[in-house]
């Protein structure tokens, strides 16, 4: 039977998003289930299979027509083996997902979720045509995927691309989730913006942010961005601080990778117009001119679809290679 389809599965901490697409990435059917409170291997595997069966049944496609299933999953992983070493939000520890899904008789292509997102943007979003591209997603944390000579760069043990854990400021006392202090993620993510906003309120600064929340703890990155969009000066200053920190990290990546494109996704990228000038000002000050002039920074296109589209791209990347 002709292999005319692929399936992408975006395995998240709260939900599983699955989609069936043709070999051009056109999505024919989607399926979505909540993981629920019982998070163990059997539950997660059963729910993955349910979503796959659903897209198959509802399109009347035969599983034999599916060339492969891309599975985007939080790391650390062993991609070749299909091993999920650990996922904090799903209680999967040393689960071989290829083995667990072997009864589907379809090739399974495991990929780190940030790498899958990078592939998604490269195949179907803002990364189209870029051979050397850095995908950066800035939301609660900072994640990324590095595409080199057209392919995801996985590194020695499938752990490359932890760009959010570059040390941005070695003297910083802000502790990162990874254990290090002063990581890019700790200082330039949406969480960092939220922290700056909360600190501004605690310092009783005169800002509209105050009017947008009932409690200081409600100040998240989006609230600060909202106040900045309304030209609140304190909020604009905080956005500038984040933009400078983003630009500093990006300048280092530009000097290291000489990419042609940086695709900027995640919640904070929705405020790109407020960040752009300061990000570029910082890059121009800190990156080598000959490299800075070769790169463009483009907001991501796929939005909340990036996970499942990325999983589809991960499958296509294997099949079409």
Work out the number of other CB atoms within 10 angstroms of the CB of residue 190.
24
Whichever of 192 and 295 has its CB closer to its own copies, that residue is 295
Q: Give the residue from 239, 232, 21, 252 showing the smallest Cα distance to 136.
A: 252
210 binds its own copies per the rule CB under 8 A: no
CA end-to-end distance (rounded Å), the chain: 20
Among 23, 63, 148, 216, binds its own copies (CB under 8 A): 148
Identify which of residues 312 and 314 has a Cβ nearer to its own copies in the complex: 314
Sheet (strand 27-34) strand order: 27-34, 15-22, 5-11, 66-73, 108-112
Helix, strand and coil content of the chain, in percent to the nearest 5, comes to: 45, 25, 30
Is 170 an interacting residue with respect to its own copies (CB under 8 A)? yes
Residue among 140, 167, 241, 270 that touches its own copies (CB under 8 A)? 167
318 contacts its own copies (rule: CB under 8 A): no
Stretch touching its own copies by CB under 8 A, among 41-49, 116-124, 168-176, 262-270? 168-176
Residue 92 CB, shortest distance to its own copies, in Å, is 16
- β-strand 296-299 against 261-265: which pairing, if any? parallel
- The reply to whether 155 sits near its own copies by the rule CB under 8 A is yes
Residues across the chain: 321
Q: Does 165 bind its own copies (CB under 8 A)?
A: yes
- Residue closer to its own copies (CB basis): 104 or 292: 292
> How many Cα atoms sit within 13 Å of 95 on the Cβ side?
22
> Residue 243 has which token pair?
């933009």
In the stretch 289-308, what mask flags binding to its own copies with x, by CB under 8 A? -xx--xx-------------
Which positions from 88 to 127 touch its own copies by CB under 8 A, shown as an x/- string?
A: ----------------------------------------
Closest CA to 16 of 33, 39, 38: 33
**Stretch 190-209 residues interacting with its own copies (CB under 8 A):** none
Confirm or reject binding of residue 273 to its own copies (CB under 8 A).
no
Shortest distance, CB of residue 190 to its own copies, whole angstroms?
20
Query: Beta-strand (E) ranges in 97-229?
Result: 108-112, 133-138, 142-148, 151-152
User: CA 17 to CA 13: how far, in whole Å?
Assistant: 11
Q: Select from 40, 89, 285, 303 the one that contacts its own copies (CB under 8 A).
A: 285
Interface with its own copies, residue 257, by CB under 8 A: yes
80 binding its own copies? (CB under 8 A)? no
Please state whether 155 falls in left (phi above 0), alpha (psi between -120 and 50) or beta.
left
180 binds its own copies (CB under 8 A): yes
23-41 CB burial, b ≥16 within 10 A, e <16: eebebebbbeeebeeeeeb
Residue with tokens 């984040």: 242
The site for its own copies (CB under 8 A) is made up of: 76, 85, 131-132, 146, 148-149, 153-163, 165-171, 178-180, 244-245, 248, 251-253, 255-260, 285-288, 290-291, 294-295
């Amino acid at each position: 039977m002709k292999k005319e389809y692929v399936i992408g599965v975006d395995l998240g901490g709260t939900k599983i998003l699955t989609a069936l697409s043709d070999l051009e990435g056109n999505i024919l059917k989607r399926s979505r289930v909540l993981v629920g409170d019982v998070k163990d291997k059997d539950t997660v595997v059963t729910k993955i299979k349910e979503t796959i069966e659903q897209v198959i049944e509802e399109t009347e496609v035969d599983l034999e027509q599916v060339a492969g299933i891309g599975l985007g999953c939080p790391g650390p992983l062993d991609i070749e083996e299909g091993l999920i070493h650990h996922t904090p939000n799903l209680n999967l520890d040393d689960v071989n997902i290829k083995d667990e899904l072997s009864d589907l008789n379809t090739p399974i292509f495991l990929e780190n979720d940030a790498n899958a997102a990078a592939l998604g943007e490269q195949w179907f979003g803002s990364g189209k045509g870029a051979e050397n591209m850095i995908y950066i997603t800035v939301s609660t944390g900072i994640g990324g995927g590095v595409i080199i000579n057209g392919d995801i760069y996985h590194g020695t043990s499938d752990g490359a691309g932890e760009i959010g854990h570059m040390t941005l400021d070695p003297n910083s006392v802000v502790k990162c989730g990874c254990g290090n202090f002063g990581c890019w993620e700790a200082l330039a993510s949406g969480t960092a913006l939220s922290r700056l906003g909360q600190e501004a309120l605690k310092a009783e600064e005169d800002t509209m942010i105050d009017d947008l929340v009932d409690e200081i703890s409600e100040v998240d990155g989006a609230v600060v961005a909202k106040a900045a969009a309304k030209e609140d000066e304190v909020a604009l200053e905080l956005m500038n601080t984040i933009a400078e920190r983003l630009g500093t990290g990006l300048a280092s990546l530009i000097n290291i990778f000489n990419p042609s494109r940086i695709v900027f996704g995640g919640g904070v990228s929705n405020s790109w117009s407020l960040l752009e000038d300061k990000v570029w000002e910082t890059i121009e000050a800190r990156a080598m001119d000959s490299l800075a002039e070769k790169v463009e920074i483009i907001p991501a296109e796929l939005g909340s679809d990036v996970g499942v589209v990325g999983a589809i791209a991960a499958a296509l990347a294997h099949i079409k290679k």
